């Protein structure tokens, strides 16, 4: 094996051996924190011990513990292990090139996902853009976000350990990315769905200041953190479902058993009337990462100096609403949003040709993604922010999906030929021209350039990606007003 085939890089913890593939170098499963097991479960990430041997970085590591949801994006349980705090680096060359760096935070509702999904392959960023891509794992579900500080004061970060993992990975990037040909002063964080919620949270957190310089938020903003009291009520139920009375018993419980406990907590939460707008085990407030409310931090201007690219997909919720929706189901949906007949009437007036299923998809898309994005832009604009807004409009040829949630990812990464993409895109020729358009715009932003005309409240320019991508005025006043006092 030659050094070209299996290059070796010296990190602050020790040497890492990678592999050369498709003309770029890939270093997999590099530990950035100590394994969060035993006494370190439910605690903030700790420094990883140095190693003397050469770490084999030629294969991806296991995912964080998780259970597949059965949906289109995670039908099969991946190989997982509680020892999961690793990252991957894809680089044109581990030299002194000082290239821009993209750090990718995967989605999955803070419950599923992993850094090794083929859609996140950074090869095209390396080949076409001379960009270094880092993809990270972080703790998920109860193991990453169970708020237990009221039960053990030493677990004061337990409700945001998954976010602290992300911050720890960004600290690793600052310390090590130069050895992989990257520039630690040119780091862009990016993520989709829960990864985008994470990006918005890191933007609004003083704890993450100085660790990144640009941000891309794909389908997610700043409405997805939980009040501490609600998070603690959920954690109390976790102990009940686990059949234990002390946190120490939960710490000793098998990770697989905790995954089963999570599912029972989900069923319990469905019977409550908490109207959280999110699932159990999302990040909570009132801690070192989110001292108060996240949206409040953005209102005060936290993170407003960081240039932001942010957007949503036209039909996000079609991924989650597959069957036909009747009147009763639509009313239950509105109740879950904390809304009622007035919002329903407004949407029927705005979309007179929509049937009930289409209305449900539009409402859910707006509640989860579009309205939070508009609210975040409103707050950032007060502080002179630099924002670039997009909407992904290209419709899947799988008719019911249209421009669904997560569909934009392989376009942004230029990975349309990756496993699983065809199921989303549908039959026919791959829309490579749309992917190249998006990919080039993403690369321009990562390199520090303006990808298109800047957004402002007085001139809300938004790039629409479709067969022919165009810059359009985003007239969302009626939509925004409909949610006033609700979202």
Q: Which pair of tokens denotes residue 441? A: 């715009």
Distance CA 43, CA 55 (A): 25
Report the side by side order of strands in the sheet with 15-17.
Answer: 8-10, 15-17, 55-56
Q: Known catalytic residues? A: 193, 316, 405
Give 418-465 pLDDT, tens digit per residue: 999 999 999 999 999 999 999 999 999 999 999 999 999 999 999 999
Q: How confident is the model over 28-41, as a mean pLDDT?
A: 98
pLDDT band at 148 (very low <50, low <70, confident <90, very high): very high
Counting beta carbons within 10 angstroms of the beta carbon of residue 268, is it exposed (0 to 12), middle (13 to 18) or buried (19 or more)?
middle
Alpha-carbon gap, residue 164 to 141, rounded angstroms: 14
Residue 454 DSSP code: P
Q: Tell me: the pLDDT tens digits for 292-320?
A: 999 999 999 999 999 999 999 999 999 99
What is the model's pLDDT at position 94? 98
Calculate mean pLDDT across residues 261-276.
Answer: 93
Question: What is residue 74's predicted lDDT score, i.e. its pLDDT?
Answer: 65
CA–CA distance, 283 with 110 (Å, rounded to integer): 8
Cα angle at 139 between 137 and 142, to 5 degrees? 155
User: Using one digit for the tens of pLDDT, what is the confidence trace for 330-348?
Assistant: 999 999 999 999 999 999 9
List, for residues 226-257, the tens digit of each pLDDT value. Answer: 999 999 999 999 999 999 999 999 999 999 99
Tens digit of each residue's pLDDT (9 = 90 or more) over 150-171: 999 999 999 999 999 999 999 9
Confidence (pLDDT) at 2: 46
Dist. CA 135–CA 118, nearest whole Å: 11
pLDDT in tens, 67-79: 987 666 667 889 9
Which of 97, 163, 159 has its CA nearest to residue 136? 163
In this prediction, residue 1 carries a pLDDT of 37
Q: 159 with 284: CB under 8 angstroms?
A: yes
3-class DSSP assignment, residue 396? coil
Q: Could you tell me the CA-to-CA distances from 241 to 148, 222, 262, 278 in Å, in that order? A: 15, 30, 8, 20
Rounded Cα distance, 88 and 287, in Å: 29
Phi, psi of 187 (to 5 degrees): -105, 125
How far, in Å, CA of 453 to CA of 309, rounded?
11
Domains of the chain in sequence order: 8-451 (3.40.50.1820)
**Sign of dihedral through CA atoms 274, 280, 283, 287?**
positive
């Amino acid at each position: 094996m030659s050094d070209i085939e299996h290059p070796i890089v010296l990190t602050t913890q020790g040497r890492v051996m990678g592999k050369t593939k498709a003309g770029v170098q890939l270093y997999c499963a590099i530990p950035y924190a100590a394994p969060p097991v035993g006494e370190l479960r439910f605690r903030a990430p700790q420094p990883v011990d140095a190693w003397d041997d050469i770490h084999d970085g030629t294969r991806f590591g296991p995912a964080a513990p998780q259970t597949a949801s059965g949906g289109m994006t995670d039908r099969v349980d991946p190989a997982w292990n509680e020892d999961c705090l690793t990252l991957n680096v894809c680089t044109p060359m581990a030299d002194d090139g000082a290239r821009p760096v993209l750090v990718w935070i995967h989605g999955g509702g803070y419950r599923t996902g992993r850094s090794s999904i083929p859609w996140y392959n950074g090869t095209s960023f390396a080949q076409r853009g001379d960009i270094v891509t880092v993809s990270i794992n972080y703790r998920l579900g109860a193991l990453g976000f169970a708020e237990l500080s009221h039960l053990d004061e030493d677990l004061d970060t337990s409700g945001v350990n998954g976010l602290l993992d992300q911050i720890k990975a960004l600290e690793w990037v600052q310390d090590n990315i130069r050895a992989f040909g990257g520039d630690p002063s040119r780091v862009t964080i990016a993520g989709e769905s829960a990864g985008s919620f994470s990006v918005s949270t890191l933007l609004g957190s003083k704890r993450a200041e100085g660790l990144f310089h640009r941000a891309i938020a794909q389908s997610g903003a700043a409405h997805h953190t939980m009040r501490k009291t609600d998070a603690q009520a959920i954690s109390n139920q976790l102990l009940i479902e686990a059949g234990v009375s002390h946190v120490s018993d939960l710490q000793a419980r098998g990770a697989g058993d905790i995954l089963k406990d999570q599912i029972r907590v989900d069923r319990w939460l469905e019977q409550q009337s908490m109207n959280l707008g999110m699932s159990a085990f999302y990040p909570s407030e009132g801690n070192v990462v989110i001292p108060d409310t996240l949206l409040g931090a953005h209102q005060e201007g936290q993170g407003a100096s960081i240039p932001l690219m942010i957007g949503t997909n036209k039909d996000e919720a079609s991924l989650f609403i597959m069957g036909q929706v009747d009147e009763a189901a639509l009313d239950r949906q509105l109740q879950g949003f904390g809304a009622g007949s007035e919002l329903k009437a407004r949407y029927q007036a705005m979309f007179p040709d929509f049937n009930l299923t289409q209305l449900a998809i539009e409402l859910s898309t707006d509640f989860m993604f579009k309205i939070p994005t508009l609210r975040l832009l409103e707050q950032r604009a007060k502080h002179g922010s630099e924002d670039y807004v997009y909407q992904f409009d290209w419709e899947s040829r799988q008719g019911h999906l249209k421009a669904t949630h997560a569909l934009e990812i392989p376009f942004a990464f230029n990975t349309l030929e990756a496993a699983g993409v065809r199921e989303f895109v549908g039959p026919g020729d791959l829309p490579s021209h749309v992917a190249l358009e998006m990919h080039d715009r993403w690369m321009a932003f990562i390199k520090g350039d303006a990808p298109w005309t800047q957004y402002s409240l007085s001139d809300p320019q938004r790039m629409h990606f479709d067969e022919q991508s165009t810059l359009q005025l985003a007239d969302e006043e009626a939509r925004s007003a409909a949610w006033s006092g609700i979202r």
